[in-house]
Structure 1
Amino acid sequence: MSYIQNLKNKYPWFKYIGNRYVLVFIFFMVWMLFLDNYSYLEHRVLNKELDELETNKEYYQDEIKKDCLDIKRLNNPDQIEKYAREKYYMKRDSEDIYIIEFEEEMLLEEEENHKSL
Structure 2
Amino acid sequence: MNFSVNKFLKDRRLWMISIIIFILLITVFDKNNLIEVWKLNQQLNELESQRDYYQQKITQDSTILENLKDDTFLERYAREHYLMKRQGETIYIIKE
What band does the TM-score fall into relative to the shorter chain?
0.7 to 0.9
Percent of aligned pairs with the same amino acid: 33
Picking from 57, 71, 78, the partner of 1:77 is 71
Picking from 71, 90, 94, the partner of 2:88 is 94
Alpha-carbon distance between aligned partners in 2 of 1:13 and 1:93, rounded to the nearest angstrom? 96
Matches within 5 A, 1:5-84: 15-17=11-13, 19=14, 21-84=15-78
TM-score computed with the length of structure 2 as normaliser: 0.82
SS at match of 2:26: helix
Alpha-carbon distance between aligned partners in 2 of 1:73 and 1:13, rounded to the nearest angstrom? 79
Q: CA deviation at 1:15?
A: 4.8
* Number of matched pairs: 92
Q: CA deviation at 1:94?
A: 1.1
- The residue identity in structure 1 corresponding to 2:49 is T
TM-score computed with the length of structure 1 as normaliser: 0.69
Q: 1:22 to 1:80 in 2, by over 3 A?
A: same
Comparing both chains, which one has the higher relative contact order based on Cα–Cα distances under 8 Å and sequence gaps of 6 or more?
A: 2
CA RMSD of aligned residues (A): 2.3
Deviations 1:56-94 (A, max 9, x none): 111110010001110111111111111100110000111
Q: CA deviation at 1:98?
A: 1.3
Q: 1:45 to 1:97 in 2, by over 3 A?
A: same
Alpha-carbon distance between aligned partners in 1 of 2:77 and 2:33, rounded to the nearest angstrom? 53
* Structure 2 alignment gaps of length 5 or more: 1-5
* Structure 1 alignment gaps of length 5 or more: 1-7, 103-117
